[in-house]
Structure 1
Amino acid sequence: MLDLRKLRYFLTVAEELHFGRAALRLHLAQPPLTRQISALETELGFRLFDRTSRTVTLTAQGRHFLPYARAVLDQASLTEVIAGKLAAGAAGQLALGYASSIALSDLFSQTIQAFAQRFPDVQLTLVESASGTLYSQVVDGRIDIGMSRLQPERGQTDVQVLSLGGEPLVAALSSDNPLASQDEVTLAQLSAYPLILFPADYGSGLNESIAHLYRHNGLPMRPGPSGRQITSIIALVAAGQGVALVPQCTKTLAKKGVTYRPLADPEACAQLLILTRTQGRSLLVEAFMGVVDELLQSSGSPTAQ
């Protein structure tokens, strides 16, 4: 294997075409530099330089070898930089799973953007999943971080849960629904209409929050059609197939035929949670959580809006 130090000596002499000046740049005496170049030529099996008492020029083989030597040294420097970033938790791979309704929140987009800008050497993989599957994906190591709306069952110790607060729920109504003309609506009014949810087997944290809200208020839930994406749910509302309760961030989906109205109940919220493994959190996970914390502090609120 070629000695990187000797390649560096060769590159310096090739740039200076003068052993004396090259030795000064390398902080070496000229005789040791000359010996190192001769040793490299012996290893390679060809001369790199033609030398006279007045001039130093590259041989044909030396000219051909020069870009390859430079590429090796550049790659070695890059490898050293990347190794340092890996050791410092500033490079590598990070997998983030998220529930579809969370992708519309400002906190989600701001966090992803801020993290990508601060850690450009991290390959961030984003995986959209149902909240019900995010816990197991974190535990199994398929993802490093989960952004979920579903609280893990009590007694679970494999995952650390950080609550980012609650995001207000709003009613999504077809524009011709009589309730759309009101400034706000009540759950009792909504209970008269079919409720569009994620599929029952989807493991939706949003479904859980809505079901708890109806139970807490002693109201029946009239099941309506279901959609596997928040965009599908809004499309079904526009088609007049029922009403939906969605996080406030969904209002960014300004679909024709859909009107959003706030709820009279200020406690109606969808929680936003971050899930990470309890044991063995990587430096990259810690870095991501640091970005989240900074964004929450700068907003002056622990809630995700």
Structure 2
Amino acid sequence: MITIKQFRYFVEIVDAGSYSRAAEKLYIAQSALSRQIKELENEVQALLLTRDARHIELTAAGQVFHERAKRILDDIEETVRQTRHVGQGAAGIIRLLHSSSVTLTPSIGALLKRLLAQFPGVSLDVSKGSSENQAADIEEGRADLGLVRLPTLRKHANIVVRELFTEKLVVAVSKDSPLAAQSHTTIAALRDEAFVSIPHKDRGGLSYLVAGLCLAQGYFPKAARALSRKTSQLNLIEANLGIAIVPDSMRLVAPPGVHFLSLPEEVSSTVVGLVSPREASGMVAAFAEALVREMAPLAQPSA
């Protein structure tokens, strides 16, 4: 009967390129390794490897067996990992918040789908929450994890905030605005424009970041007569009530009457962070770590 150990030994020999190197890595005698492979070949009734003093070669049967064996070992490893998650309590609902400026793009949606496949006992309850209030919601047990637009102003002793990825900033204007004739602009050139989103003295997030960029150019953003810190600001912009500096991903949810202008590279990035409890449950902690790991490829200006 073929054993998992024989699968592993065979794959290790092929990957190492020799019996001797595989034996060293597996901490077994080379003679014992050779015996296991011989027994494996007897079971499958096919020659899998040919060898001489210097190297090994896969036979045609060995190539098929190696490909399938690696797949089987990967499946076993994934099964053990998922079983461990469930055994450690990784089953239930995770309440995930995201700020209105952290758009759930197709790439983030695909990422969440992959994570749910990795955590078969987990369901997600996704809702919106302001970047500044998410930490309090998580600390007080109303949510488990949050996707925020940094910076946030308040610090919470029981909350950890980790940077996930950067995203470029763009200027959203109405297609009826004179600015719509341009493809790019600068922060300084927006001095006389009315902004449909300005910061609150007790709120961080995107509007706080934008105000900092404007202050660096010597002015505070002038408030439009209609304001919003939510995605509804895009509707105000379409109505030509003002402009806003927003993440590039908001193009995906913008109404057709909104035009976007590029900004210079040196001022055009914003950071999305993950908010999580410092002492999270096994399920939440494992999901948060996987989320950080999976989002690493998004760490580029146009995420």
Range into which the TM-score falls when normalised by the shorter chain: 0.5 to 0.7
Q: How many angstroms apart in 2 are the aligned matches of 1:153 and 1:205? A: 8
**Deviates further, 147-156 or 97-106:** 147-156
Separation in 2, partners of 1:147, 1:179:
32
Structure 2 letter corresponding to 1:162: R
Q: Aligned AA for 1:99?
A: S
In the TM superposition, residue 176 of structure 1 has moved relative to its aligned partner by 2.4
Task: Report the alpha carbon displacement of residue 201 of structure 1 after superposing the two structures with TM.
Answer: 7.6
Counterpart of 1:239, as a letter, is A
Counterpart CA distance in 2 for 1:302 and 1:277 is 26
What is the rounded CA distance, in whole Å, between the counterparts of 2:221 and 2:151 in structure 1?
22
Query: Aligned pair in 2 of structure 1 residues 283, 301: CA closer, same or farther (>3 Å)?
Result: same
- 1:174 counterpart = 2:174: yes
Q: Which amino acid aligns with 1:227?
A: S
Kept after mapping to 2: 8 A contact 1:104/1:252: no
2:120 aligned partner, one-letter code: P
In the alignment, does 2:144 pair up with 1:144? yes
Seen in structure 2, the aligned counterparts of structure 1 residues 216 and 166 have a Cα distance that, compared at 3 Å, is: farther
2:150/2:270 contact within 8 Å kept: no
C-alpha distance in 1 between matches for 2:102 and 2:236: 19
Matched to 2:249, the amino acid is C
Q: CA deviation at 1:96?
A: 1.0
Aligned pairs, number: 221
1:41 corresponds to which residue?
none
Moved over 3 A (4+): 82-86, 104-108, 150-156, 198-204, 300-304
What amino acid is aligned across from residue 295 of structure 2 in structure 1?
A: L
Q: Secondary structure at the match of 1:242?
A: coil
Give the corresponding residue for 2:286: 287
- The 2-side partners of 1:178 and 1:241 are apart by 13
State how far apart, in whole Å, the 2-side matches of 1:166 and 1:304 are: 8
Equivalent-residue separation in structure 1 for 2:291 and 2:215 (angstroms) = 33
Could you report, residue by residue, the CA deviation over 1:280-305 in whole angstroms, capped at 9, with x for unpaired residues?
A: x12222332233233234x2736671
TM-score (normalizing by structure 1): 0.64
Counterpart residue number, 1:301: 299
SS in 2 for 1:220: coil
Structure 1 residues 148, 155: CA separation in 2 closer, same or farther (over 3 Å shift)?
closer
CA distance in 2, matches of 1:220, 1:84: 53
Cα distance change of structure 1 residues 110 and 291 upon mapping to structure 2, 3 Å threshold: farther
Alignment of 1:239 onto 2:208: no
User: Which residue number in structure 2 is paired with residue 229 of structure 1?
Assistant: 230
- Alpha-carbon distance in 2 for matches of 1:214, 1:300: 27
Paired residues for 1:193-272 under 5 Å? 193-197=193-197, 200=200, 203=203, 205-224=205-224, 225-230=226-231, 232-272=232-272
Give 1:267 shift: 2.1
Q: Distance in 2 between matches of 1:204 and 1:153?
A: 5
> RMSD of the alignment, in Å?
2.7
Distance 1:108 1:264, change over 3 A: same
Unaligned ranges ≥5, structure 2: 1-81
Q: Secondary structure at 1:96's aligned position in 2?
A: strand
Distance 1:300 1:134 in 2: 22
- Structure 2 length-normalised TM: 0.65
Q: Percent same amino acid among aligned pairs?
A: 26
The aligned amino acid for 1:103 is: T
For 2:17, the equivalent position in structure 1 comes to none
Q: For residues 245 and 110 of structure 1, do their structure 2 counterparts lie closer, same or farther at Cα, with a shift above 3 Å needed?
A: same
Q: d(CA) in 2 for partners of 1:84 and 1:188?
A: 54
SS at match of 2:103: helix
Corresponding residue number in structure 2 for 1:188? 188
Structure 1, unaligned runs of 5 or more = 1-81
Could you tell me whether the CA contact under 8 Å between 1:111 and 1:291 is conserved in 2? no
Q: Cα–Cα, structure 1 residues 260 and 219, in superposed 2: closer, same or farther, change >3 Å?
A: same
Helix, strand or coil at the partner of 1:240: coil
Q: Which amino acid aligns with 1:190?
A: L
Cα 1:83–1:166 shift into 2, 3 Å? closer
1:171–1:243 CA contact under 8 A, matched in 2: yes
In 2, the alpha carbon distance for the partners of 1:146 and 1:258 equals 28
1:66-215 maps to which residues of 2 (within 5 A)? Answer: 86-106=86-106, 108-153=108-153, 156-197=156-197, 200=200, 203=203, 205-215=205-215
Letter aligned with residue 193 of structure 2: Y
